[in-house]
């Protein structure tokens, strides 16, 4: 594998400025990651604080006992208990077969930044992946995109789950899941590593029950030797630890909401769109009831917390009593999850995708309102995998990989199509259509004098003649396209691999396509590359 850097803009303007021109948006963040001493400063700030390291370590250890482990994982847990240690954290939903490639890119980012900062600081830095197991959007995680001949097919795992059930409570049917994964691999093709990869997946299915566990098993199978720790945000043990901060979030609900709204107003005043949907009544908490995860609001007139459907209604006292008895029923939203994470973990840096950068940029006053700090936000590595066939096609088509990543191949393909057109033939067809139109104009004029009843017949006859000419033109153009089909297929293949359906590769492709092709060591090869967190796009030639 070879790594090279390219300048490819981020997918939203705010994130692009954060990466390329931090100065213009630095007031939305606590730390300026462009400063050389930022991580030393953050480390010193963390050393002034106290964390429930033993409780969190026990919680992580208990959660991870179900998954593949290693000496490196045990060492990370031991280091986490050491008050000198800090963590690099990032998170994502529990997608099937690990979800889109960007989840893997985020994990690689967490591990590599932790390694780099451990060397630079001379202190233990633990890589931690926070699984959003409390999320209930089943439609976001129940599929992957499989490559077809012409385009990608969205392949859903079809199993019904009641209500807005959290991913960590969704128990899948093992036989259905196994059949679904076989179907996915039929699109990947039978390769030398197919049997091994299916065995890994079968092992994961056999040893897990829920979507989140299935995800966690696969992640630890491939990343256990790098000391990665996992935490499920919906873990009941974690909820017990979170009770004091949930109380604080409830007490300070209006201050948190007002802080976010004010920051959004400031952001919009600079020409940016807001990233978080929130109104003045937001309590920024979910309550889990009968497999329904309901977002709570606060009604200031009746002084009660209510769900969107108005089915749930709690006074302050009732909510605090429920929190004490059933903390597992409470969960954070996009506003309070970062606040909770900062309270729980000694976070040296948070690894964020473009969308996360945009919404974290609305949270700094909320952190400050809670007497807390926002950690340094480090953009995750943006990676594109470039296989040899695609690389060769780029060279033969004289295409720039950076240009394809930004704009796709449509413009170049259209220019090629124009270059192979027979302009003389097209001109001849057009001329014939004009002659026909002129002649029929005279015919229709004469018919109009003889018998107006046949005018419509003449017009229909002209339209039929024009359609026949256009049909002939299309058939000739199809012949030209077939004649150059090998070249056109290369354009299609390049776009499918690098900019599928107009989307970044990392949003469509799945890591098992590459593991099926190259084997388990593919992950290790990716992790052995010399990444720099410099905001540039990483192109990896396989």
Query: Each residue of 299-310: pLDDT tens digit?
Result: 999 999 999 888
Contact 101, 506 (CB under 8 A): yes
Give CA–CA dist 375/349, Å, rounded: 6
- Give the CA radius of gyration of the chain: 29
Assess whether pLDDT exceeds 90 at residue 428.
Answer: no
Query: With b meaning 16 or more CB within 10 Å and e meaning fewer, what string describes 397-408?
Result: bebebbebbeeb
Are 487 and 397 a contacting pair, CB within 8 Å? yes
Higher per-residue pLDDT: 277 or 482:
277
Number of other CB atoms surrounding residue 340 within 10 Å: 19
- pLDDT for 21-53, tens place per residue? 888 898 999 999 999 999 999 999 999 999 999
Instruction: Give the residue-averaged pLDDT of 358-385.
Output: 97
Rounded CA separation 107/86 (Å): 17
Is the model's pLDDT at 15 over the cut of 70?
yes
Instruction: Map residue 373 onto helix, strand or coil.
Output: coil
pLDDT for the residue 478: 76
Total length of the chain: 542
Q: Give the model's pLDDT for residue 71.
A: 98
pLDDT at 469: 83
Quick one: pLDDT band at residue 422, thresholds 50, 70, 90?
low
Tokens of 191: 């390769």
CB atoms within 10 A of CB 57: 19
Largest pairwise CA distance in the chain: 103
The CB-side HSE value for 409 (13 A sphere, CA atoms) comes to 26
517-540 pLDDT, tens digit each? 999 999 999 999 999 999 999 999
**What letter would DSSP give residue 375?**
P
Q: Which H or E run includes 19?
A: helix 13-20
Report which of 347, 377, 263 is spatially closest to residue 31, judged by C-alpha positions. 377
H or E stretch covering 332: strand 330-332
d(CA 471, CA 465) in angstroms, rounded, equals 10
Reported as a single tens digit per residue, the pLDDT across 125-138 is: 999 999 999 888 88
Quote the crossing angle between the two packed helices 53-64 and 236-251, to the nearest 10°.
140
What is residue 499's DSSP assignment? S
Taking Cα atoms as reference points, which of 496, 505, 441 lies closest to residue 101? Answer: 505
Q: Return the closest-CA partner of residue 223 out of 196, 190, 200.
A: 200
- Cα(242)–Cα(51) distance, integer angstroms: 12
Percent of the chain surpassing pLDDT 70 = 99
Average pLDDT over residues 212-236: 97
Q: Residue 349: is its pLDDT beyond 70?
A: yes
Phi/psi class of residue 233: alpha, beta or left (left: φ > 0; alpha: ψ in -120 to 50)? alpha
Across 178-328, the runs of DSSP E, i.e. the strands, are 229-232, 282-289, 292-299, 304-307, 313-314
Q: Residue 518 is encoded by which pair of tokens?
A: 């190259």
**pLDDT at site 505:** 96
CA angle 146, 206, 219 (to 5 degrees): 60
Torsion of CA 483, 489, 491, 492, to 10 degrees: 140
* pLDDT value of residue 423: 66
pTM of the model: 0.90
Helices vs. strands in the chain: H and E counts, helices first:
24, 15
**What is the pLDDT of the chain when averaged over all its residues?**
93
For the chain, first and last CA: distance in Å?
5
Which alpha helices (H) appear in 252-400, and where do they start and end? 253-269, 316-325, 336-344, 354-360, 364-369, 388-397
Mode of pairing for the β-strands spanning 282-289 and 292-299: antiparallel
- Token pair listed for 265: 């107003």
Q: How far apart are CA 133 and CA 168, in angstroms?
A: 5
């Amino acid at each position: 594998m070879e790594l090279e850097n390219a300048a490819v803009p981020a997918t939203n303007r705010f994130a692009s400025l954060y990466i390329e021109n931090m100065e213009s948006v630095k007031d939305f963040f606590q730390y300026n990651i462009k400063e050389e001493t930022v991580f030393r400063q953050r480390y010193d700030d963390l050393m002034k604080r106290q964390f429930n390291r033993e409780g969190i370590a026990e919680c992580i250890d208990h959660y991870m006992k179900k998954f593949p482990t290693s000496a490196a994982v045990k060492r990370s847990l031991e280091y986490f208990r050491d008050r000198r240690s800090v963590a690099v954290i990032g998170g994502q939903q529990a997608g099937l077969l690990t979800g889109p490639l960007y989840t893997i890119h985020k994990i690689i980012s967490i591990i590599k930044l932790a390694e780099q900062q451990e060397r630079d600081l001379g202190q233990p830095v633990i890589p931690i992946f926070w699984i959003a197991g409390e999320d209930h959007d089943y439609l976001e995680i129940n599929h992957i995109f499989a490559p077809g001949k012409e385009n990608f097919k969205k392949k859903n795992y079809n199993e019904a789950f009641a209500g807005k059930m959290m991913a960590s409570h969704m128990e899948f049917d093992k036989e259905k899941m196994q059949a679904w994964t076989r179907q996915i691999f039929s699109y990947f093709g039978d390769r030398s590593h197919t049997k091994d990869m299916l065995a890994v997946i079968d092992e994961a299915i056999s040893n897990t029950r829920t979507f989140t566990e299935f995800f966690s098993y696969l992640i630890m199978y491939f990343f256990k030797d790098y000391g990665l720790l996992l935490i499920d945000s919906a873990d009941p043990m974690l909820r017990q630890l979170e009770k004091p901060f949930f109380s604080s979030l409830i007490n300070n609900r209006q201050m948190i909401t007002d802080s976010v709204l004010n920051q959004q107003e400031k952001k919009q005043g600079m020409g940016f769109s807001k990233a978080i949907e929130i109104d003045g009544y937001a309590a920024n908490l979910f309550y889990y009831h009968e497999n329904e995860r309901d977002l709570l609001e606060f009604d200031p007139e009746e002084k009660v917390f209510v769900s969107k459907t108005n089915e749930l209604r709690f006074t302050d006292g009732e909510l605090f009593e429920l929190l004490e008895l059933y903390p597992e029923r409470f969960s954070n939203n996009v506003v309070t999850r970062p606040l909770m994470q900062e309270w729980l973990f000694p976070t040296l840096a948070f690894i964020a995708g473009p969308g996360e950068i945009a919404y974290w940029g609305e949270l700094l006053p909320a952190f400050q309102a809670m007497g807390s700090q926002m950690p340094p936000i480090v953009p995750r590595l943006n990676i594109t995998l470039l296989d040899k066939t695609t690389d060769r096609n780029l060279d033969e088509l004289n295409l720039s990989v950076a240009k394809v990543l930004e704009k796709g191949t449509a413009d170049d393909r259209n220019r090629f199509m124009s270059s192979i057109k027979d302009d003389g033939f097209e001109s001849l067809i057009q001329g014939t259509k004009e002659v026909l139109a002129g002649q029929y104009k005279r015919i229709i004029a004469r018919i109009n004098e003889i018998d107006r009843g046949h005018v419509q017949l003449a017009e229909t006859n002209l339209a039929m003649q024009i359609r026949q000419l256009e049909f002939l033109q299309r058939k000739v153009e199809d012949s030209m396209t077939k004649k150059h089909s090998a070249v056109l297929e290369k354009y299609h293949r390049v776009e499918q691999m690098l900019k599928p359906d107009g989307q970044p590769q990392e949003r469509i492709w799945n890591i098992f396509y590459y593991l099926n092709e190259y084997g388990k060591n593919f992950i290790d090869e990716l992790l052995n590359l010399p990444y720099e967190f410099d905001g540039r796009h990483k192109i990896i030639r396989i």
